Amino acid sequence: MSNKPFPYQYIAIEGNIGAGKTTLCKMLKQDYNCQLILEQFADNPFLPFFYEQPERYAFPVELFFMTERHKQLQENLSQQSLFEDFTVADYFFLKTLLFAKNNLNEEEHRLFQRLFHILNTTFPKPELLVYIHRSVDNLLKNIKHRGRSYEQDIKADYLLEIQTTYFEYFRTEQNLPILIIDVDEINFMESKEHYKMIVDALGNTYAPGVHHLSFVR
């Protein structure tokens, strides 16, 4: 793989549950000299209970995610690494607010927003936000395949709500380059050619706003 540096110091890779964002980040780390930030979602003690009783556990699960993400990003982004060329993360801090919008009631969400906006001012924003897009059917297949017990009851409607929330945010974001990559027709996890197509796309510069990219087999 080419060692040509990407034109960004900080790239966030986003996507729905089961999209493959973490896998892509790990592949980039393997091939490039980058700092890797991976969300520690499995450490959230409320997550299994949330999938069983979402109304009861939504606020603690989201609060835990927000504080842990903030702590991790604060530690990793407070100063540029002297030994790595750029940073890639498998989440964007704003994800915290997007998921909370879906999962919390109105009163909880109002309080959550206040806390989020205080924390969101304390570290750099990504220079490129990449959204790995898959259809809900393919997300469900990936979720089933990776076999996390607490994810097996996730419904298509919930994934569709998350996708809609992301896309609504993308339509309002004017200051950040957002690259939506549709990967339904490719398999970057197993095909070096498909992976290289994504890497090449990350090597381009994008103006603020939404950019769409889809591949055909």
Look at residue 2 and tell me if it is in a domain: no
Q: pLDDT by residue (tens digit) across 59-86? A: 999 999 999 999 999 989 877 666 788 9
Look at residue 3 and tell me if it is in a domain: no
Structure tokens at 98: 């997007």
Q: How many distinct structural domains can be found in the chain?
A: 1
Look at residue 4 and tell me if it is in a domain: no
**What pLDDT score was predicted for residue 123?**
84
Look at residue 5 and tell me if it is in a domain: no
**What pLDDT score was predicted for residue 215?**
80
- Domain hosting 210: range is 10-214
Per-10-residue mean pLDDT, the chain, length 217 = 74 96 96 93 85 92 94 85 86 94 94 94 92 96 85 90 95 95 93 94 96 84
**What is the crossing angle of helices 106-119 and 95-103, to 10°?**
170
Of 174, 107, 127, 159, residue with least CA distance to 13:
127
Look at residue 74 and tell me if it is in a domain: yes
Look at residue 199 and tell me if it is in a domain: yes
Look at residue 194 and tell me if it is in a domain: yes
**What pLDDT score was predicted for residue 3?**
53
The CATH number of whichever domain residue 210 belongs to comes to: 3.40.50.300
CA distances from 208 to 17, 113, 183 (A): 25, 24, 22
> Dihedrals φ, ψ of 209, to 5°?
120, -175
Look at residue 179 and tell me if it is in a domain: yes
Structure tokens at 7: 């034109």
